[in-house]
Amino acid sequence: MKNSLLQTSPMLNFEDESIQQLINAKNWKNLTAYDAIEAVYNFVRDDIKFGYNKDDTLSASQVLADGYGQCNTKGTLLMALLRGIGIPARFHGFTIYNELQKGAIPNYLFFFAPKRIIHSWVEVYFEGEWLDLEGYIIDKRYLNKVQERFADQCEKNSRGAFSAYGIATKCLKKPDNEWLGKSTYIQKEGIADDFGIYDLPDEFYAQKGSNLTGFKRLLFRYGLRHLMNNNVENIRRLGL
């Protein structure tokens, strides 16, 4: 196993005091590998709500302070926490089709979204193999509200996938988003491009950049994302 798969970085800053305090308070280092992965995974999935941060390249401590995130930012925090308790983790980069964000991104803002959006998941080393972790992106409260609205999706669309509200899965009623010692997914069915594996998210974003540039990036950072987060929170509280 490469030492680089346990190293810190500007983005994976698990030596930060806030992250160390969290790890110690949760006692994650004293759990078995299975239980530690489950506890960290569930924390990132449900305690860190689904939402849109100002940038994909936030450090893990910044994501923790925000208390919300999407695939890339929540993935940074998950990687940092796993490495911080001694469990090897790495980054897998993709793009996803923007259609799966419809609903989470209000229709009146959707034209700002690029057709293919930078996406990632975390791979964790467990019992001699690498497993994909992607099911952490959508918190349970938000997912439950979407499931309530589309309760019969599996029966009506058995050959296709549900793709909307930040979710792309073959069966919305029972997505593969629980840690059971296997890979987990919640947006896999929306993947467009596969950019491969990286030891650090820092390296990936240095190569691929971000989804938006110039004026659109500023508009997203200081205005549009707040409207998107309000929409997501309304779904979480009130449903569809």
DSSP-assigned states of every residue in 8-39: --SSS-TTSHHHHHHHHHHTGGGS-HHHHHHH
Range(s) of the domain holding residue 170: 3-238
- Dist CA 140 CA 49 (whole Å): 9
Per residue in 47-79, pLDDT tens? 999 999 999 999 999 999 999 999 999 999 999
Q: Is the dihedral of CA 54, 177, 64, 141 positive or negative?
A: positive
Q: Domain with 189 in it: what CATH number?
A: 3.10.620.30
pLDDT at 148 over 70: yes
Overall number of domains in the chain: 1
pLDDT at 214 over 60: yes
Dihedral-angle region of residue 239 (phi above 0 means left; psi in -120 to 50 means alpha; beta otherwise): left
Q: What is the mean pLDDT of residues 99-115?
A: 87
Per residue in 152-182, pLDDT tens? 777 555 456 899 999 999 999 999 999 999 9
pLDDT band at 111 (very low <50, low <70, confident <90, very high): confident
Q: Is the dihedral of CA 198, 204, 207, 212 positive or negative?
A: positive
Tokens of 184: 């987990």
Q: What is the pTM of this model?
A: 0.94
Phi, psi of 118 (to 5 degrees): -60, 130
